[in-house]
Amino acid sequence: MSGRTAKTMLLSAENGPSDADSIDIRAFLNGEREAFDRLVMRHADRILNLCYRLLGDHEEAEDCAQEVFIKVFRNVKNFRLESRFSTWLYSIAVNTCRNRRKSAEFRFWRKILRLGRDSEESEGGVIPDTEDPSPSPLTLLTNREQERLLQKAMADLSHDHRVVLVLRYVEGLAYEDICQITGYNPGTLKSKLARAREQLHKRIKSM
Amino acid sequence: MRMDCRRVRDLLFEAVDSDLPEAVREELEAHLVRCRFCAAEAAAVEAELEALRALPRAGVPADFLQRIHARMNEPQDLGGAGKRFSGLFGGRRFIEAAGLAVAAMLVVVIHHAFLKERPQVKPFVSEQAAPVSKAKPELEPSAPPAEPAMTREEVGRPAAEFQQPQSPPVPAGVSRGSAAPGELSLTLTLKPSPPGTANLMDGKAAAPPFHRDSEQKALRAAPSARPVGEGLDGGAEVETRKGGEIKFRRGEEGAPSGADAVREKAAMHHAPKPGPGGRIHGAMEEIKRIVAEAGGVVLSTAPRGAMDLGEAMVVAEVPPEQLPALLDHLRLLGETRSEHGASAAGEPGAKIRLSLKVIIPEP
């Protein structure tokens, strides 16, 4: 609980940067090109991380993140300053990742990469033996192995479940922010989070 | 209220973030104290969520901003959709496939244009050639005198539609016309045959299939032969069947008075029936024999389909000196008539090509 509280505090501290976002947006709309660069560098880390956790591939994530900022560059004039810029940015990133995952090209390459990864795992034996009676194989893994296992388990989830898990636990966003980004009402979001946790737990246990 | 483990397992995923009623939460915590299996499951779920929170963050490349600038400065950047489109249709494989498709279309167009410049081939089915189903139109016809093979579309045409080879020297009784040298085109109208009997042309006609009830049909057709009372007169019984032959099991003396009529009717029923197909086939066999006796050779015949329609076509080559005798033999089969007439003889020593259309007169 302490980690979540810390992240919530961190998000609350973003009120300052969000004010900085408003200033930079106005400056950019007034023709100051460097203001856009400041916006990018301020949010690149979170957007890139979100894309990586949603897509599962570094190159795709970077390409997708660049696409997000290009969309911002072209549509920032339509942004209403009364809402938070980061929320608007997250919603663009989530939709861009959803479209990217739907594309035939992405599915094709993901299938190819998954086949290669499976064969590599079968040779290297990275996935532990699940006959161990311990409740979760995560307890037996190093941090790097945990990351691979979690990423693999999340890759099998639906896009909606993955989005709510990443926004809530990886990005540490508050419920109201997630509701603004995804468009869910709080009840739907809690229900989706519960189902997402259950699906993730089942997949990890089956590994 | 005591919770069972299944209920607890369901609540574990809801209890993380949801605001459970106080009573339910207390009961859940009490169950987790009592049940170590559910407690282990709850710990596993919490460990998974902690692992999610502890995931390392992806680092931003140093040139991330420069790449964005480069993409924004691309004048024809179509965005994600454009990139996906170009990824699917702009790759090397797509270009190779498109090139192959264009090349194939060019081959088809050139081939089609070349064929249009060639004369249409309308030949007969050659007897020496492969079966009709394997015949293909030949672009380069083989050496004469063989006619090019007939296309499959042409097989079913009546003989009257076939291209008529031109005609040769004129024997006696054949009118002159405008045929090519060394060719003769004739029409042979077969003589009418007596109904119900097999003649020369009917000889090859296929016999109708045997009807098991032919005897009964004969009996019905000849009421006088029908037995009266029980059994036949004198105890004769009809026995037989196969081939349409009627026998009496118990002696000829026991045959009914109408037995002869029964035999006659049955014989008529099983006799080969005259028909256009049978007559044409018989005539074709006879014509082949006549040509062979005259020292000639049959080059081609009309397809079977045309024969069944009552018309047929024969193309043969015969020595010029045997032509009068051959025509005399043909006149035994029916009336001969020049279709296009005949012209002067061809080269000395060359055979005459005879195109003979065989038809059956209208009844």
Give me the mean pLDDT over the B232-241 stretch.
44
User: Which of the 8 DSSP states describes residue A170?
Assistant: I
Q: What is the percent of chain B with per-residue pLDDT over 70, rounded to a whole number?
A: 47
Confidence of residue B335 (pLDDT cuts 50, 70, 90): confident
Starting at the edge strand found earlier in the chain, the sheet holding B297-301 runs B125-126, B297-301, B311-318, B352-359, B183-190, B334-342
For chain B, what is the mean pLDDT? 65
- Name which of A76, A80, A11, A64 is nearest A37 in CA terms: A76
- Predicted local distance difference test score (pLDDT) of residue B117: 58
Q: In 10 A of CB B46, how many CB atoms?
A: 14
- Nearest-angstrom CA–CA distance, A14 and A75: 23
Most confident of A10-24, B160-174, B200-214, B298-312: B298-312
- Nearest-angstrom CA–CA distance, B236 and B256: 7
- Predicted local distance difference test score (pLDDT) of residue B20: 81
Higher pLDDT, B262 or B54: B54
Confidence of residue B72 (pLDDT cuts 50, 70, 90): confident
Start-to-end C-alpha separation, chain A: 27
Best mutation target, B10, B45, B55, B74, to test chain A (most A CBs within 10 A): B55
Judged by CB atoms closer than 8 Å, whether chains meet at A7 and B14 is answered as no
- Nearest-angstrom CA–CA distance, A141 and B38: 22
User: Which of the 8 DSSP states describes residue B242?
Assistant: G
Partners of residue A201 in chain B, C-beta under 8 Å: 13, 44-45, 48
Cβ-nearest to B60 among A44, A70, A73 = A44
- Predicted local distance difference test score (pLDDT) of residue B268: 55
Going by C-beta distance under 8 Å and a sequence separation of 6 or more, which residues neighbour residue B245? B266
Lowest pLDDT segment from B89-93, B97-101, B316-320: B89-93
- Predicted local distance difference test score (pLDDT) of residue B36: 87
Give me the mean pLDDT over the B174-192 stretch.
67
User: For chain A, which residues score pLDDT lower than 70?
Assistant: 1-18, 104-141
- Predicted local distance difference test score (pLDDT) of residue A105: 63
Judged by CB atoms closer than 8 Å, whether chains meet at A190 and B58 is answered as no
Judged by CB atoms closer than 8 Å, whether chains meet at B84 and A170 is answered as no
- Nearest-angstrom CA–CA distance, B84 and B79: 9
Phi, psi angles (nearest 5°) of residue B185:
-120, 125
- Predicted local distance difference test score (pLDDT) of residue A137: 62
In degrees, rounded to 5, the angle at the alpha carbon of residue A23 between the alpha carbons of residues A20 and A27 is 135
Beta strands in chain B (DSSP E): 125-126, 183-190, 297-301, 311-318, 334-342, 352-359
- Nearest-angstrom CA–CA distance, A141 and B178: 102
- pTM of the predicted model, to two decimals? 0.46
pLDDT higher than threshold 80 for residue B125: no
| Longest CA span, chain A | 63
Angle between helices A104-124 and B79-89 (to 10 degrees): 70
Confidence of residue B64 (pLDDT cuts 50, 70, 90): very high
Lowest pLDDT segment from B114-128, B186-200, B347-361: B114-128
Kindly state the tokens that stand for B151: 């296309």
Going by C-beta distance under 8 Å and a sequence separation of 6 or more, which residues neighbour residue A105? B84, B87, B88
Going by C-beta distance under 8 Å and a sequence separation of 6 or more, which residues neighbour residue A69? A40, A44, A47, B68
- Predicted local distance difference test score (pLDDT) of residue A72: 92
CA of B56 vs chain A CAs: smallest distance (Å)? 8
Distance from chain centroid for Cα A131: 32
Give me the mean pLDDT over the B24-33 stretch.
88
Give me the mean pLDDT over the B38-44 stretch.
88
- Nearest-angstrom CA–CA distance, B299 and B142: 14
Which chain A residue is nearest to residue B88, measuring alpha carbons? A105
In degrees, rounded to 5, the angle at the alpha carbon of residue B142 between the alpha carbons of residues B141 and B147 is 75
- Predicted local distance difference test score (pLDDT) of residue A170: 92
| pLDDT (tens digit per residue) in B267-300 | 555 444 455 667 778 888 888 888 888 888 888 8
B173: left (phi over 0), alpha (psi -120 to 50) or beta: left
What kind and span of H or E run contains A29?
helix A15-29
Whole-angstrom CA distances from B221 to B214, B225, B268, B277 are 10, 9, 12, 28
Judged by CB atoms closer than 8 Å, whether chains meet at B64 and A67 is answered as no
CA of A17 vs chain B CAs: smallest distance (Å)? 19
Confidence of residue B58 (pLDDT cuts 50, 70, 90): confident
- Predicted local distance difference test score (pLDDT) of residue A70: 93
Pairing relationship of beta strands B183-190 and B125-126 according to DSSP bridges: unpaired
- Nearest-angstrom CA–CA distance, A70 and B83: 13
Lowest pLDDT segment from A174-183, B93-102, B127-136: B127-136
Judged by CB atoms closer than 8 Å, whether chains meet at A66 and B71 is answered as yes
Distance from chain centroid for Cα B239: 45
| pLDDT (tens digit per residue) in A121-167 | 433 333 343 333 455 666 666 777 878 888 888 888 999 999 999 99
pLDDT higher than threshold 60 for residue B208: no
Which chain A residue is nearest to residue B69, measuring alpha carbons? A70
Most confident of A36-50, B91-105, B331-345: A36-50
At B357 the three-state DSSP class reads strand
Q: Give strand pairing partners of B336.
A: B188
- Residue positions counted in chain B: 363
- Predicted local distance difference test score (pLDDT) of residue B181: 56
Give me the mean pLDDT over the B38-53 stretch.
88
Lowest pLDDT segment from A56-60, B8-12, B86-90, B97-101: B86-90
Which chain B residue is nearest to residue A64, measuring alpha carbons? B80
- Nearest-angstrom CA–CA distance, B277 and B282: 9
